[in-house]
Amino acid sequence: MPRYQGRTYDTCITLGNNGEPWCPTLLDAEGGYIEGQREKCLDRCLVTNCPVGFYRNIMDHTCYYVSPDHARKRVSSVDEAEEMCRRLGASLWEPRTESAQSMLIGADLAPGHTGAITAIGLTYFFLAASF
């Protein structure tokens, strides 16, 4: 899968192209984009601007990542969650309004996480980033 600015994508993106969807036509040996080697995507192509592993938040057009649901992979502190976010090039989403908290508790944001999203303890952290 192609990488652009250090992140891997599996859809067309508009980043760095004045909002026009594009995909690479040639990659370097490590799968990285080679400047100037791109073409316009067809209208029917998916465009998300979210790296692989992140999901598109329809409400505010950011990308988010849901932390692992396996107990051994969970973080144990806010500091650890913030560090995990930094490693992903993202920032920790901290709901500060009642509506944001309601969305966190009641939403099924990621495929495969139906009914599993909770705001109890440190079970899940949402990592949001604008790409």
pLDDT digits (tens, 9 = 90+) for 2-15: 889 888 899 999 99
Same domain, 99 and 82: yes
- How many CB atoms neighbour CB 111 within 10 A? 8
The encoded tokens of residue 104 equal 């966190």
What distance in Å separates the CA atoms of residue 92 and residue 44, rounded to the nearest whole number? 33
Prediction pTM value: 0.63
Query: What backbone torsions phi and psi does residue 66 show, to the nearest 5 degrees?
Result: -100, 130
Same domain, 47 and 83: no
pLDDT in tens, 83-131: 888 887 777 777 677 776 666 555 545 554 433 333 333 334 455 444 5
* pLDDT confidence of residue 106: 56
pLDDT in tens, 38-67: 999 999 998 888 888 888 777 767 787 776
The encoded tokens of residue 107 equal 């939403």
Domain count, the chain: 2
Cβ-Cβ contacts under 8 Å for 110 (sequence gap 6 or more): 55, 64, 66
Same domain, 81 and 37: no
Same domain, 30 and 85: no
- Domain around 20: 1-52
Same domain, 101 and 125: yes
* pLDDT confidence of residue 118: 36
What distance in Å separates the CA atoms of residue 76 and residue 78, rounded to the nearest whole number? 7
Same domain, 91 and 47: no
* pLDDT confidence of residue 83: 84
Same domain, 71 and 48: no
Same domain, 42 and 64: no
Same domain, 6 and 64: no
Same domain, 37 and 101: no
* pLDDT confidence of residue 91: 76
What distance in Å separates the CA atoms of residue 131 and residue 128, rounded to the nearest whole number? 10
Burial 18-38 (b: 16+ CB within 10 A, else e): eeebbbbeeeeeeeebeeeeb
Higher pLDDT, 114 or 78: 78
